[in-house]
Amino acid sequence: MGDIKKIGVMTGGGDCPGLNAVIRAVVRTAILKYGVEVVGVRSGYRGLYLGDFVPLDLDAISGILPIGGTILNSSNKDNLFQYPFEEDGKTVYRDVSDVGMENLKKAGIDAMIIIGGDGTLTSGRDYARKGLPVVGVPKTIDNDLACTDYTFGFDTAIGIASEALDRLHTTAASHSRIMVLEVMGRYAGWIALASGIAGGADAILIPEIPYDIQKVADRLKQRRDRGRNFSIVVVAEGAKSITGEIHVSKVIENSPDPIRLGGIGNKIADELEQLVGLEARATILGHIQRGGTPTAHDRILSTRYGTAAVELLMAGKYGNMVALKGDDMTYASLEDVIGKNKGVDPDGELVRMAKGIGIAFGD
């Protein structure tokens, strides 16, 4: 505990409701409980490379609890262990992680709290291997990080998606349409599954259960035959058909995560319109799920994560990520977290319950 006098905090990857609540909890816990200074690193690892630091005191974090996004800004394109440079018209990659280490040393920062998803925490683990005292905080609306039951931002995302489904229901019923809602989630179906159940969907398509579009259509026809001339379908952006096909919207060259999913909602709507014989429309919710004020649940969870991260650092338990297990805040080694996607269990209780109340998954 006596070795740490100044803590750095960083937000990396995509924005997420609750990031500011984590930052606030880190600052308040560090200052009020331990008498330790806090410095923010702007724009993720780019700020670490450039030495773009900002002091964070109690005034700096006042009022940020309910605000979405991150006051430190973020970036998901700057891996300092494989940093791109242009040379002679070509892109070459170099390990510039030592520049970040030197900048931390110059600023007198003894340890780092790194808030992010798999990509951000991978570099956090790599810095821990270099000897930097690091604690990670799991951040993603997708809820797909290993070793923790829930990530902050997930509750806000499913709340937004559920509200969208409530609104789509009235249009679907008024016009006798099939309304398809495409939600985020990457290669995990947590947002689609939870919002679909909460929003009364008739079909939910997720990456973990390959779908047969004909089987989905047959279930919607059964609804129509019972006099229900509309249906609601929720599709995860990473949902795949029984042929293994996923829908890639574009590929971003020179990005640590080049594959951009999206557009499957329109594909599903077109196919169902032909197979069911009802007009179908798609809504792609997109970044709306990541913006705006976090729910009360996410504010509390974010605060717990931020406080636990400082306590883990001060206890000397470096190289770990704070994690939620049941009702308890605990931790797991970053080595055990990285590269392990936590997907929906196709045979789990939530899926079995959803099928039991008549929701189709296309299997």
The 3-class secondary structure across 65-106, one letter per residue, is CCCCCCCCCCCCCCCCCCEEEEECCEEEEECCHHHHHHHHHH
C-alpha–C-alpha distance, residues 208 and 316, integer Å: 38
C-alpha–C-alpha distance, residues 305 and 14, integer Å: 18
Which tokens is 101 given? 């280490």
Contact indicator for 252, 308 with CB cutoff of 8 Å: no
Which tokens is 295 given? 């729910």
Burial 81-96 (b: 16+ CB within 10 A, else e): bebeeeeeeeeeeeeb
Q: Which residues pair with 85 in a beta bridge?
A: 92
Q: Which residues are catalytic?
A: 142
- 3-state class (DSSP) for residue 327: coil
